Amino acid sequence: MSEEKIENKSFLFTQRDAVAIISINKPPMNPMSLEFFNELENFVPKLSEDQNVRAIVITAEGEDNFSVGMDLKEITGVVRNMERMREILDQRLRVLSAIENMRKPVIATLFGYCLGGGLELPLSCHFRLAAKEGAKIGLPELDLGTVPAWGGSARLTRCVGRLYSLDMILRAKKISGTEAYRIGLVNEVVPKVELKDRAFELAKELSDMPMTAVSEMLRCIVEYGDQPLEEGLHQERQAVLKTMGTKDNLEGIKAFLRKRKPKFNKS
């Protein structure tokens, strides 16, 4: 297995074969600083364009917490500067939208505190895995006299529905990994000691799937899943036409007929 490591000021980047791993690097609380989002905004387009990366894991250093969200010490100095606050909010919305609309699957790990932006970032990812023990997941901004700022209310409602969103946000609730799984917020609940390994394992599985087909399904489901049925059917038809007759399509058919596992993404 090949591996490459890069250390930025606010996160670590590791590439293991076709899987990229971004790890917030301010343990134990892993707040998301202004610097973190500046670096992430520059990094996400590079990952999106890198053909050697086919799946991404977003996690955090240490074993205590994924993230307590926005670094409040930094924000305190600008809360009265509405122009600066708009710039900060716009940047976060841009970055999370870029992650959500990536044509590569992105997986987030939720453990310890996953609060405010520490949930809003995972909500922009396509898969979420939570620790079975100790996770505290929520959007408790009302405790600070404000509201979710990075698309949390919109994405949470689309994920779990109005009933659970109102309950979590208006009561500033922090729920467990097991509860998050029950309401459909996360895909899996995993013992904490296995969480990061499981995220990589899932990313590796997804990176072995046919890249063009994965990209097209992400486009159809993420971009058009909430559109009228006719638009969804049209986009699916376009995806079929883009994938039929490709090397991966022919490999999949051949492997099926020969009763073997297909080997996709080969030039």
Given phi > 0 = left and psi -120 to 50 = alpha, else beta, which region is 196? alpha
3-state secondary structure (DSSP) of residue 122:
helix
Q: Which amino acid is it at 157?
A: T
Say if residues 60 and 12 touch (Cβ distance below 8 Å): no
Q: Which of 141, 216, 230, 231 is catalytic?
A: 141
- Integer angstrom CA distances of residue 172 from 57, 118, 145, 148: 27, 14, 11, 10
DSSP H/E element including 237: helix 229-243
Long-range contacts at 97-100 (CB < 8 A, ≥ 24 apart): 97/124, 97/151, 98/41, 98/44, 98/45, 98/48, 99/44, 99/58, 99/124, 99/125, 100/124, 100/125, 100/126, 100/222
Residue with tokens 């010490």: 73
Structure tokens given for 36: 């973190």
Catalytic annotation on 120? yes
Catalytic annotation on 141? yes
3-state helix vs strand vs coil in the chain, percent to 5: 50, 15, 35
Q: Report the distance separating Cα 94 and Cα 145, nearest Å.
A: 24
DSSP H/E element including 55: strand 55-60
Q: Which of 120, 133, 194, 230 is catalytic?
A: 120
Q: Which residues are catalytic?
A: 120, 141
